[in-house]
Amino acid sequence: MKLKSLMLGVAAAATATTAQAADLPVAPEPVDYVRVCDAYGARFYYIPGTETCLRVGGRVRTQITINNMADEEDGWGARGDNGYDWDTEGYLYLDARTATEFGTLRAYVTLEGQVTTGGTESFDFGSTYIQWGGLTMGYLGSNFDIFTGQVWSGPIGRNWSDNTIQQLAYTAAFGNGFSFTAAIEDGLDRAYGSYAGTRLPDFVAALGVSQGWGSAQLSGALHHVRPAAVGTDEHLGWAIGAGVAINLDMLSSGSNIFFQGFYADGALNYIGASTVTINGTTSAASDYVGNDTSTGYSLSAGIYYQATPTVGLALDGSYMDIDYNASPDHERWAIDGSVQWSPVSGFTIGGDLGYSHNDLAGVGDLDNIVARFRVQRDF
């Protein structure tokens, strides 16, 4: 009886001890919660355990382009040409920023994948660069470029400078919206014609202003022309450009209009030069003909009108004239209009219709009519 009482007592004591231990507070394991970073705008978050802010985004788009419907030797009229092109694209970007004593340190990466007509797949990088204070190093839009269009998708090319390019640039901000950029950029990417091995990058400078009324920019570039043909002279090509965009807030918020013009001597890529084949003759497509540089200019304009909170209308136009000296001069003008509808935020449906006219002096002319329908989801 005494043994039984003793065992019961021990069991009761053990139970009481266990209950008391369970009631003792236990220190929780540390948890790194994701925090919102509001230093650089919406949708940035701190990477847990760091002071680096990250934004992740992208888009998916699919589009059908109805190729040239205006000429019997091109597009729909040529048996060997596709009457339409169908493209679907996925696009992702990462934008990482960290505050330092020398300014913001930023890394931006774009990844793009595409499937085209016939199931051809491709994968590539888009804009990918590092910024630190006023320095920019990597692959992104040229500092020479000013305005690159208003329309939704632009199936007809317009003639202006629009290059994503390797570069090393420094931008100085002067306050009140004024800035100056000096850069070296990949000259081979701007080569128009048959070039020998590259020796010098292009030197680019831009003076810009952005204020409540709109924006404006002056651009200049020096380009080394080094023809492939032995015995052909090398040249220092150059280009200049100017443009202005004016906000049309009196019509609606987001509406605007732009005008710009470019001139080039031995640097035709800077005016958005394009080639064409008419009656078996292809435009010279070169920064030089013989030992002489080619010259040309382009003028362009565009307007965007936010007709309703969900509907946008746009129209772009350009004119280009190239003097090839010993080859047929090339004139081209183009116009493109679009309508786009965004029924919900981040989702847009729209269509474009474009027309261009090419003329090679003494050879003939060629018309192009191209249409495109696009659906796009941004996130």
At 300-352, the pLDDT tens digits run 999 999 999 999 999 999 999 999 877 899 999 999 999 999 999 999 999 99
pLDDT of 114 > 90? The answer is: yes
What tokens were used for 86?
């169908």
Over residues 20-43, the mean pLDDT reads 72
CA torsion angle for 68, 74, 75, 78 (degrees, to 10)? 150
Residue 19 pLDDT greater than 60, yes or no: no
pLDDT at 1 over 50: no
237 within 8 A of 266, measured Cβ to Cβ:
yes
Phi, psi of 14 (to 5 degrees): -65, -40
pTM, two decimals, is 0.87
Distance of CA 264 to the CA centre of its chain: 23
pLDDT score recorded for residue 213: 97
- What is the Cα–Cα distance from 84 to 372, expressed in whole angstroms? 9
Question: What gap in Å lies between CA 318 and CA 316, rounded to an integer?
Answer: 7
Mean predicted confidence (pLDDT) in 180-188: 97
pLDDT in tens, 126-168: 999 999 999 999 999 999 999 999 999 999 999 999 999 999 9
Round to whole Å and give the CA distance between 366 and 229.
30
Q: What phi and psi, each to the nearest 5 degrees, are found at residue 268?
A: -70, -20
Res 17 pLDDT > 50 = no
The distance from CA 341 to its chain's CA centroid, rounded to whole angstroms, is 21
| CA gyration radius, the chain | 30
7 Cβ neighbours under 8 A, 6+ residues apart: none
- H/E stretch holding 19 reads helix 2-23
Confidence of residue 15 (pLDDT cuts 50, 70, 90): very low
292: DSSP letter: E
Q: Are the CB atoms for 125 and 284 separated by under 8 Å?
A: no
Instruction: Give the model's pLDDT for residue 230.
Output: 83
Residue 90: count of CB within 10 angstroms of its CB: 14
CA-to-CA separations, 51 to 38, 95, 105, in angstroms, rounded? 12, 14, 11
On the question of pLDDT at 7 being above 50, the answer is no
Please give the share of the chain, as a percent, with pLDDT higher than 90. 78
Choose among 186, 358, 191, 188: nearest CA to 286.
Answer: 191
Structure tokens of 11?
């069991």
Task: Please report the pLDDT score of residue 221 as a whole number.
Answer: 98
Query: Are the C-beta atoms of 246 and 258 separated by less than 8 Å?
Result: yes
SS3 4: helix
Nearest CA among 201, 202, 360 for reference residue 278: 360
Q: Which fold has domain 62-76+147-378?
A: Porin (2.40.160)
Report the alpha-carbon distance of residue 185 to residue 272 in Å, rounded.
Answer: 17
Residue 283 phi, psi (nearest 5) = -55, 150
Question: What CA dihedral angle connects 261, 264, 270 and 271, to 10 degrees?
Answer: 50
Q: What percent of the chain has pLDDT over 70?
A: 89
Rounded distance, CA 117 to CA 144, Å? 33
- What is residue 31's predicted lDDT score, i.e. its pLDDT? 60
CA distance 215 to 146: 10
